[in-house]
Amino acid sequence: MNLHSPRIELRTSPHVVKGLSVERIMFNVVLALLPIAAFSIWQYGLSALALLLTVIATCLLSERLFNYWSGEPNTLSDWSAAITGLLLALTLPPSFPLWMAAVAGCVAIALGKAMFGGIGHNVFNPALVGRAFVQAAFPVSISTWAPAYASHRFTEFIPTTLTLPLMTPADIGPWAKQALDGFTGATPLARWKFEHVATAPYDLLTGAATASAGETSAILILLCGAYLAACRFMDWRIPVAVLGSAALIAWLFQLWNPVRFPDPSFVLLSGGLMLGAVFMATDMATSPVTPKGVWIYGAVIGVVTVMIRYFGGLTEGVMYAILIGNALAPLIDQYCQPKVFGSAGRKT
Amino acid sequence: MAIPGQKQLTHLEEFMEGIWKQNPVFVMVLGMCPTLAVSVSAVNSLSMGLATAFVLVCSTLLVSLIRKLVPKEVRIATYIVIIATFVTVVDYLIQAISLTVYEALGAFIQLIVVNCIILGRAEAHASKNPPLRTVINALGMGIGFTIGLFALGSVREILGAGKLFGIPLFGPDFQPWVVMVLPPGGFFVLGAWLLLFNWLDSRKSGVARGEPVEGRVHG
């Protein structure tokens, strides 16, 4: 099919076919994620590379196996499993042991996707399902952070990366201290929550803060998201609604109590909000389709994120906020159905 | 079940009903409350399974013996009183044998009274069948339930603590999967076992060759 020029076909409507296929959209999302992955490898070196490769490989393998067992056609070529793997790896800490990462990848595909019937049928974002599982299963490892720009990052692994399967990873502390002087191992959000220190916005923008593998540079994520939105591969309303509602509610809280609550810019730039808003909340299968519903969905995610961060026990709330948003998506769509043309004023 | 016009099962088939074809955990999906709550370790699930099996066998035997005496209107109340009697027996028995297990199982021992497997068997099978057949069926069901619980409990203990029956399997460095001993772990493992059983079942009945299947999950 000619992908670019719209053309009219002699058949029943729709007549204008734009030629957007699942493969094409998914491939472009992969393209948009590649710079972020590359930046994360630049920051964390071999460990990030191994993490990315492991998670993507397990996702592809699980997808293939479940296709095979269920007698479905092979769906590896639509790139969706690769995206799940990429996104999942980018949300994990760079020092995450590879065997746990493999568990996360397998659960993401099995529980998040295959169980519901494969691509397009999943209720929750598969990558986040995988991450939620390992967060519940290995709460210590998923909140152990490694310093970026360690000096030998391209020649040696972070020690916890190569933990033997099923074994507890070693303490990362001594290695991190030696790799980067003064490294505290706390994310900006944790430092704000427990030590009341807000990280400077500049560090958050450029990715000099401690974080998951792919959520460090807000600028890069926004640029990649802008590419997707410009090419219409992604609904721009969702990230705008998520970030806008988060900023708005953070601003209101700051007005109310400027000592306790941080600046809205800190809320927007820290943690996984950017990555979540741009790449996770916009998953087509799990977000609403009605224009009004999309705004509500995004606003719910933004508000819940800020609420969890401010008042919850966890330091980061983006993952659960998006999962809650996913769960609400069908309901939101149901209440936001556009009026059928000509039905106004008629009793139904 | 002795429904007129249906072929009477042999005693072996009657016994195997509960273990495979009508397994309370994997096929009927009954008694989920103790199944999910108690199956944190192999010991807990075995003792819970055996306690339930004991109550099941004794109460269905008694129900079957008095099935012609009890008026239809009060049968459920009668069953409950009978079941409650045996649950009390089991309650004190476990307390006498092992206080640790008793404390681990907690309220779920008393809750055997309302376990739908037992009441279901009393109503659907024992009240219509002679004692011997009832006991055989109840034994199969009890063992099937114990197997189901043990399947859940052993997986959850292996992954959640790295042990089986309290014996470490992977050495001191094992990383416990915290989620496995939490409630979600119960659902995950149950789901995985259901998947496996349905898959085996569907292979046996020829879905793999593309024939349509009827729904298998019961309420």
Q: Find the mean pLDDT for residues A74-80.
A: 82
Q: What is the reported pLDDT for A19?
A: 67
Q: What is the reported pLDDT for B171?
A: 79
**In this complex, do A71 and B208 lie within 8 Å of one another by their Cβ atoms?**
yes
Q: What is the reported pLDDT for A316?
A: 82
Task: Give yes or no for residue B164 having a pLDDT over 90.
Answer: no
Q: In the predicted model, what is the mean pLDDT of chain A?
A: 83
Residue for token digits 């997986």? B155
More confident residue, A178 or B126: B126
CA terminus-to-terminus distance, chain B: 20
Residues 6+ apart with CB under 8 A from A66: A72, A109, A110, A114, A118
Cβ under 8 Å to A: B residues 160-199: 162, 170, 173-175, 177-180, 182, 184, 188, 199
Residue for token digits 């790139």? A79
Q: Find the mean pLDDT for residues A12-30.
A: 77
Band of the pLDDT at A2, cuts 50, 70, 90?
Answer: very low
Band of the pLDDT at B23, cuts 50, 70, 90?
Answer: confident
Q: Find the mean pLDDT for residues B28-45.
A: 86
Measured between CA atoms, the residue of chain B closest to residue A136 is B179
Give B115-161 pLDDT, tens digit per residue. Answer: 888 988 888 888 888 999 999 999 999 999 999 999 999 999 999 88
Task: Give yes or no for residue B30 having a pLDDT over 90.
Answer: no
Task: Give yes or no for residue A135 having a pLDDT over 70.
Answer: yes
Extents of the domains making up chain B: 11-153
CB-facing half-sphere around the CA of A41: CA atoms within 13 A: 15
Give B53-96 pLDDT, tens digit per residue. Answer: 999 999 999 999 998 898 989 999 999 999 999 999 999 999 99
**ipTM score here?**
0.77
Q: What is the reported pLDDT for A173?
A: 73
**In this complex, do A137 and B179 lie within 8 Å of one another by their Cβ atoms?**
yes
Enumerate the residues of chain A whose CB falls inside 8 A of the CB of residue B188.
Answer: 111
Torsion of CA B45, B173, A106, A134, to 10 degrees: 80
**In this complex, do A136 and B173 lie within 8 Å of one another by their Cβ atoms?**
no
**In this complex, do A138 and B177 lie within 8 Å of one another by their Cβ atoms?**
yes
**In this complex, do A137 and B174 lie within 8 Å of one another by their Cβ atoms?**
no
Secondary structure class of B9 (helix, strand, coil): coil
Residues 6+ apart with CB under 8 A from A14: none
Q: Find the mean pLDDT for residues B185-189.
A: 90
**Six-digit token string for A87:** 């996104």
Q: How far apart are CA B22 and CA B155, in angstroms?
A: 22
Cα A38-A42-A47 angle, rounded to 5 deg: 95
Enumerate the residues of chain B whose CB falls inside 8 A of the CB of residue A169.
Answer: 175
Which 8-state DSSP code applies to residue B66? T
Q: In the predicted model, what is the mean pLDDT of chain B?
A: 85
Give A280-319 pLDDT, tens digit per residue. Answer: 898 888 889 888 899 999 999 999 999 998 888 787 888 9
Nearest alpha carbon to residue A270 among A203, A185, A320: A203
Most confident option among A58-62, A168-172, A204-208, B207-211: A58-62
Please name the amino acid found at residue A108: A
Q: What is the reported pLDDT for B219?
A: 37
Q: What is the pTM of this model?
A: 0.83
Residues 6+ apart with CB under 8 A from A75: A63, A67, A81, A118, A119
Give A192-244 pLDDT, tens digit per residue. Answer: 777 677 777 777 766 666 777 777 678 888 888 998 888 888 888 999 999 99
**In this complex, do B175 and A138 lie within 8 Å of one another by their Cβ atoms?**
yes
